Chains A and B, each alone.
Chain A
Amino acid sequence: MIHSHRSRALALAAGGCALATALALVAPAFATSTERFVLDDAAALAAGELGRTIVHSDGRVTVGAELERIALPDDVPLVYCTVRASDGAIYLGTGNDGKIYRVRGSAVSLFAETGQLLVASMVIGQGGAIYAGTLPEGRIYRIGSDGQPNEIARPDGVEHVWDLAFDAQRNVLYAATGPEGRIYAIDPQDAATIYWDSPAAHVMSLALAPDGALYAGTSDDAVVARITSATAAEIVHDFPGNEITALAFASGVLAVGANEFPDPPAVTSLQTATPASPSSRLPRPRPGKGRIFRVTSDGRTERVFEQDEGHITSLALLADGTIVAGTGKDGRVVRVNPNRTTATWIDVDERQVLDVSFGRGDDYFVTGDGAALYRLTDARPRSAIWESKVLDARFVSRWGQIDWRGEGQLVLQTRSGNVQAPDETWSEWSSDLSRGGPIRSPQARFLQVRARFDRDPDAVLRAVTAYFLPQNQRPYVTEVRIEGANKAATDLMRAERQHHVPDASTQYKLAWTVDNPDGDRIRYRLRFRQESQRVWRDILRSDVVLTDENYPWQTESIPDGWYVVAVEASDELDNPGNLTLRDTRQSEPFRIDNHAPTIEQLRFAANHLTGRAVDGLGPIARLEYAVDGGDWVAFFPVDDLFDTAEERFDIDLTSLPPGEHIVSVRTADAGGNLASAETQLRR
């Protein structure tokens, strides 16, 4: 959604927001950090809040339906299922006290109490009786007009009654249950028999076809079966995912809500009633993926809708083939048109839309995590507002132009803030913008845009683009390393064990790390000075642009001594001069020692070979001698310590056999530089 628009920053920097586009073609190449939010497809446009507006799959935002919200009592947390009676009364099956409420007009009244946890399913049966399936004890009730529940079945092993279907032709009630994954058929005498025993744990959903075939969807596989008798069941399709939560059948078409949930949250199995701690975070299931399929009478199965977050909770299939679905995240109702275009149709404040009823003369849906019934009305919405999700510029930014594409008289507004969730610290919504122009909200990190449709109910919004210039972020050099500064000495010690002395190198590898929050391209400048000096000298020529985070430094011409290197990071490559930010960090002092020691005053007398090893920087690190081209033999200086730049030595050669010999002496300094000398002597 964030697009960089590198060629516009100069214009914005100069304050010419309105001219930014015009200047784009002539902008210098170095000014490159203007960015933009682009909301131009259905996913981006639907990510915000839809207040009586619709986001269509082709990226249009239009005015939606007006809703009448009918709230349930505060102690009812969810409406799980609903059924509409022939007299227009709507019955709501609720949790967590297993109550059924009746809605006539806008009046809500308690109709029945099952004493169970949840009324999970309801259906109208013979004579208008209401059947209710419950959990957690798997009880099924028949409820007359007096609201008195009569338990008609409680099949063995059943804990949940997820769905009910009533076959008026056969006068049979079907109950989809868990956790044994069975469908029970309950006859008019209330005798319950197993109608289908699925391999799944739950039969979650039922749909009855006019020919009496019963479609059933399962969990935690996602299979839909067609059952025509207690002995005849066929698999219609094995869908991807693990739950078929909703089925609807109309005009030879079966609509299927198939969901894919991740593994359930990890929890302890030990059940102790520890006191509640309100602050603790509960393990919650992550949102499931929701998909809607359409299965035609010839068995053709096609996916008509898919979303990665938010499972399908319920379906309605209209006579013209339109599918309306409730979803389990963000309180939304989606609509799938016969031509396979889709729309995020309704968005309410409650978290879940748990059941929908459309195309039966009274369009409505019910919600959970906030229990309410919403009824669609024919009136035009009093207020239709599309609101973007909170747009994150990542850094405090100066806002530029806002443009949009659309038709009709739209009004746009913005607001901004520095916390992700809008609160009282955010700015108020800006004054109305009836055409593109500068964003009128204060600079901040987060931005939100909304479009109002109240001037023109037929207006269409297609895309919104908002430009911004993030505040430039300083690059920080966090570490400077001199790789190879101690290499010679280290190698020397290793070489001691291997009986040879390596050559010293005059090349040092400078390396550094940088924290670069906004990802600008960084130019590095390198300088050095002797530890005791104050004047810095450039390592690089002024025309060298170094962007790598290391540099091989040749120090052959540098006098021996202790040095410090400074690395400067500058984001000048992506920012104009007045906005460029720099940071410099120095290395630890390190030694450069490129010059070999010397061996002086080599003399042989009284069977002893004496002399001095002298280095300019020191200390002398090693002394060795060899007789007549033999192996090098290490020896210590006179004072036994390699601790100064000049070490005197005295080699006792008494053990040499009498005669002429050539004795070689070599030495190495701490920088790994070698020197040698030899003398011919007679013993």
Chain B
Amino acid sequence: MRVRHAVPFFCCAALLVTAVAFGQVRGTSDRVIGVSEITPGMRGYGLTVFRGTEPERFDVEVIDVLHNFRPDQDLILIRTPHPILEDAHVVAGMSGSPIYLDGRLAGAYAYGWPFSQDPVAGVTPIANMMVEMRRAVRPEAFVGARPLAGRGLVPSRLAGPHLAGLPAYRGDPDVTATTALEAHAARVGALRTPSGTTLIPAATPLLLGGFDDAVVRLLDEQLGGFGLMALQAGGAGARTPPPNAPTAFVNGGAVGVQIVRGDIASTAVGTITYVEGGRAVAFGHPMLNAGQTSLPTALVRVLHILSSSNRSFKISEPIGPLGALVHDRQSGVVVDSGTTAATVQARVRITGIADAPRTEWNFEVASHRVLTPILLNAAILNAVAATASDSTDATFEATSRVWIDGRAGPETVVDRGYSQLGAANAATLRQLRLFALLEAIYGNPFAPAQATRVEIDIAIDYARQTVAILDAAVPALEVDPGATVPVRVVLRRFGRDEEIRIVPVRIPEHAAGQTVQIDIQPGPAVHLEHPQPRDLDELIRGVRERYSATSMVVSLQTPFRGLRFSGHVAHHLPSSALDSLQLTNDSDRNRPFVTFDRHEVGLDQVASGGARIEVTVRRTPR
């Protein structure tokens, strides 16, 4: 009986939970033990890799069973009297280690208490994990993924764009590298700093190679809430697999989720619990709790278990790519060894730094709405930190090119910025429009899309090439309607005298008798009104079309309102037209906005500051 082919997955899941619990699933009934059969004091063993690639046994003794630890999920409490575990207690990387009782598979070593003095752990029952392993897969969730020959992704009746469970992106200009991560963390309720009394998933070591310490700390902050422990411990893997290296996943064997590989690398390490056909379950708890996903996985070799009262973890490295993580769920992750996950080829190049030891990084990063931006952000920050770590005035120009699957040329955005804390400023770099571009690609509500290649060229100049908008004035605060007013903007460039720039602004005749407001702002401070996008191209156009950081924008507020429509923006609407174009059942997207007459003035340098003046327009010309 292949239940997963016959009924919708939710029916399948319910049947499987029941079936497994009573040992009725064909082929596993004699190998698994249900929670109801487990009693305190039972003894058994676990399998995990302490060194190399061969799983070894460790003893376990059942303390008791915690019922309904998670929704529909019990937890088996065990003690692990093993010489290594007596010292290390809960070891990051052991998550998923299969636990056998009465010679049968009971579940996966998965939970522990931080700062615990006893080698006590929680075991996720195998029944819950088996349900996930046999869950159907939605093909559209695997943009760019490739099944191996002869294997197809299992279709299901659930369909929808691949948005990683997050709201669709419709053009919010304030997107940063961490926007999707923050939304995801809010959605799944990522852990904050755990207390010693909270039972939490045994941490998953995220082994990082080639990263600067500051970037490791940044990733630890960003991903720590999901139980990922960022560690500066290699992760790139051997260039050639060791002799006799395994070629398939085995129960108790180590598995890595390679979210970055190349000149920099990052691998999350855990343990395979159970292998069935081309699928395997691991971890016993979620990695990011991202649901159906697609991340590259690899076979892993353990070099050492580092014991520490603070954090114990497996030092390990990948030895060869194999398969993809296809489910990231509450009771564990599922690896399909017949699938190759899509990745994004990336290059970060730094220019402008004389005698830099290294100027180019090439790597491959997981293709994922949440992960790709933060990993690229880390890579960029890492490259800048390695090349231009000086904490001094720095101006940069970042050219980001993103290739989208199925399209010819790249989408390009150029950002300019300034940081007085040096170029390696995380707060500045996370705002590059590259990340809005990626959010548009992965989060667009129109069609599945995937970035295939990203190139970021960052030109750094150790100079304060900035211009501050200090003040603005007009010759007279009362002007004629229809007059062109010379707005006198006072600028100051670093190291130079104040500079006056005259910007002619025409006062519309219809402003007669009114007071009009003129704002002088740096380009990025002005939000352009974009149409409601109708497709990915329009969404990307909205990301591209923004005022330059090296310009100032002079905006005259008009009394008219405008409206945004699909593909169009209407400005300066008179009241009758505004009334006609707003329909009774319009949603909030059709909210009117104030319209401005704007003039962009190039300044060659990154602008800051701002000014505002108000001018009274005479009723009639004098």
Contact = CB atoms under 8 A, between A and B. Distances in A.
Contact of A96 (B530, B579, B581): B581
A221 B588 CA distance: 30
**Consensus secondary structure, chain A interface:** loop
A96 B591 CA distance: 15
A136 B588 contact: no
Contacts of A118: 570, 581
A220 B574 contact: yes
- In this complex, the member of B512, B564, B576, B578 whose beta carbon has the largest number of chain A beta carbons within 10 angstroms is B576
Interface string B412-448: 0000000000000000000000000000000000000
Interface in A485-528: none
A159 B570 contact: yes
Contacts of A369: 580, 583-584
Contact of B574 (A96, A204, A263, A284): A204
Interface stretch (B130-138, B266-274, B452-460, B592-600): B592-600
A310 B256 CA distance: 69
A275 B571 CA distance: 21
Interface residues of B, number: 55
A328 B579 CA distance: 8
Contacts of B587: 276-278
Contact of A268 (B557, B560, B566, B593): B593
A15 interface: no
Given A199-B482, A242-B575, A328-B580, A273 B171 contact: yes
A273 B592 contact: no
A160 B595 CA distance: 14
Given A199-B512, A201-B560, A269-B596, A277 B588 contact: yes
A179 B592 contact: no
B358 interface: no
Contacts of A263: 559
A202 B560 CA distance: 11
Nearest to A120: B577
A178 B561 contact: no
Nearest to B173: A272
A204 B174 CA distance: 38
B481 A199 contact: yes
Contacts of A261: 575-576
B586 interface: yes
B559 to A, nearest CB: 7
**Consensus secondary structure, chain B interface:** mixed
B566 A264 contact: no
A159 B510 contact: no
A587 B523 CA distance: 68
B81 interface: no
B247 interface: no
Interface residues of A, number: 61
Contact of B576 (A221, A243, A351): A243
Contact of B589 (A117, A268, A276): A276
Contacts of A619: none
A271 B574 contact: no
A288 B581 contact: no
A174 B568 CA distance: 25
A265 interface: yes
B576 A288 contact: yes
Contacts of B70: none
A267 B576 contact: no
A200 B509 contact: yes
A259 interface: yes
Interface in A28-81: 77-78, 80
A352 B584 CA distance: 11
B592 A264 contact: yes
Contacts of B558: 179, 201
A597 interface: no
A181 B576 contact: no
B23 interface: no
B572 A259 contact: no
B512 A368 contact: no
A472 interface: no
B537 to A, nearest CB: 14
Given A160-B572, A178-B574, A282-B586, A199 B509 contact: yes
Given A269-B557, A276-B589, A278-B587, A284 B579 contact: yes
A117 B559 contact: no
A159 B306 CA distance: 69
A556 B509 CA distance: 77
Interface string A250-280: 0000000001010111011111111111101
Contacts of B561: 264-265, 267
Given A201-B510, A271-B593, A274-B172, A285 B579 contact: yes
Interface of B: 167-168, 170-174, 481-482, 508-510, 512, 527-530, 532, 542, 557-561, 564-584, 586-594, 596
13 contacts: A80-B580, A118-B581, A136-B569, A136-B570, A159-B571, A181-B510, A199-B509, A219-B575, A267-B593, A270-B527, A273-B170, A273-B172, A273-B173
Given A80-B580, A201-B574, 5 more contacts: A201-B560, A243-B574, A264-B592, A271-B564, A272-B173
